[in-house]
């Protein structure tokens, strides 16, 4: 198994969340709208998702940490699974202009609204499907906040494929360590399908052949 990392948690903790208010605000309807991953999810009202996902430079620090941990350079090839608007790939490319970056996402809206500089590196694809890449084609494959949106039976292929195409890999998913965090996560999550504790996630990774690094975010 890979390492338990702490890369994204600092950013995750910067946002304050009113769990009960979200749960009481037509949550079922909001989930249905969020799961379309269209404009409402990204740039609509906060009750449907991000509430306006504009770039504010916060991904630069994450890019620098990834470059450092995985010793990325201008020859590296990097894949982002569930890249969204691809702000992280954009930052990596800014620091390493000659590296090759590729990203995919299920959301057409996110891809269309990604930074112009990076749009031609992105494509529409579902993480549950066999990846159109060769074995160990990428130096680093990462996936942030995406894989918990898959059902457990789709995670099997997603984990296997991530492992197959990557030399190094890192994923971040939502999780919970106690009943309070499970409650908060269930109040907050609009698109999550896989609610697992860290030990369950690690068990699944082993079971499905994923040997890369991982991080869990919690709703404290």
Ligand X SMILES: C[S@@+](CC[C@H](N)C(=O)[O-])C[C@H]1O[C@@H](n2cnc3c(N)ncnc32)[C@H](O)[C@@H]1O
Which residues are near ligand X by CB under 6 A? Answer: 37, 82-84, 87, 105-107, 110, 126-128, 144-146, 149-150
* Beta carbons within 10 angstroms of residue 6's beta carbon: 10
| Closer residue to ligand X, CB minimum distance, 74 or 132 | 132
Instruction: Specify the residue, 6 or 75, whose C-beta has the smaller distance to ligand X.
Output: 6
In the complex, minimum distance from the CB of residue 130 to ligand X, in angstroms, rounded to a whole number: 13
Side-chain-side CA neighbours of 71 within 13 Å: the count stands at 2
Q: Which of 114, 78, 112 is nearest to 95 (CA)?
A: 78
Nearer to ligand X, 75 or 124 (CB): 124
Segment 92-97 long-range contacts (CB within 8 Å, at least 24 positions apart): 92/63, 92/66, 92/67, 93/117, 93/118, 93/121, 94/60, 94/63, 95/60, 95/63, 95/64, 95/67, 96/67, 96/72
Distance CA 54, CA 84 (A): 12
Q: Which is closer to ligand X, CB of 98 or CB of 160? A: 160
CB of 138 to ligand X, least distance (A): 16
Smallest gap from Cβ 98 to ligand X, in A, equals 23
Shortest spacing between CB 47 and ligand X, in angstroms: 15
Minimum distance from residue 94 beta carbon to ligand X (Å): 16
Q: Which lies closer to ligand X via its Cβ, residue 189 or residue 205?
A: 189
């Amino acid at each position: 198994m890979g390492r338990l990392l702490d890369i994204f948690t600092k950013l995750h903790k910067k946002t304050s969340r009113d769990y009960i208010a979200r749960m009481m605000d037509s949550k079922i309807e909001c989930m249905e709208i969020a799961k379309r991953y269209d404009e409402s999810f990204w740039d609509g009202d906060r009750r449907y998702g991000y509430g306006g996902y504009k770039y504010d430079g916060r991904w630069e620090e994450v890019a620098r940490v990834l470059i450092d941990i995985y010793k990325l350079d201008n020859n590296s090839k990097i894949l982002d699974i569930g890249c969204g608007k691809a702000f992280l790939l954009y930052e990596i490319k800014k620091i390493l202009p000659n590296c090759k970056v590729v990203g995919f996402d299920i959301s057409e809206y996110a891809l269309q609204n990604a930074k112009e500089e990076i749009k031609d590196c992105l494509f529409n694809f579902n993480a549950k499907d066999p990846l159109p890449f060769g074995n160990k084609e990428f130096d680093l494959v990462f996936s942030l906040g995406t894989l918990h949106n898959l059902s457990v039976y789709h995670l099997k292929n997603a984990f296997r494929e991530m492992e197959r195409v990557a030399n190094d890999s890192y994923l971040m998913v939502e999780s919970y360590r106690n009943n309070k965090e499970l409650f908060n996560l269930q109040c907050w999550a609009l698109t999550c399908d896989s609610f697992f504790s860290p030990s369950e996630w690690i068990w699944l990774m082993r079971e499905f052949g994923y040997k890369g690094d991982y991080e869990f975010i919690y709703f404290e």
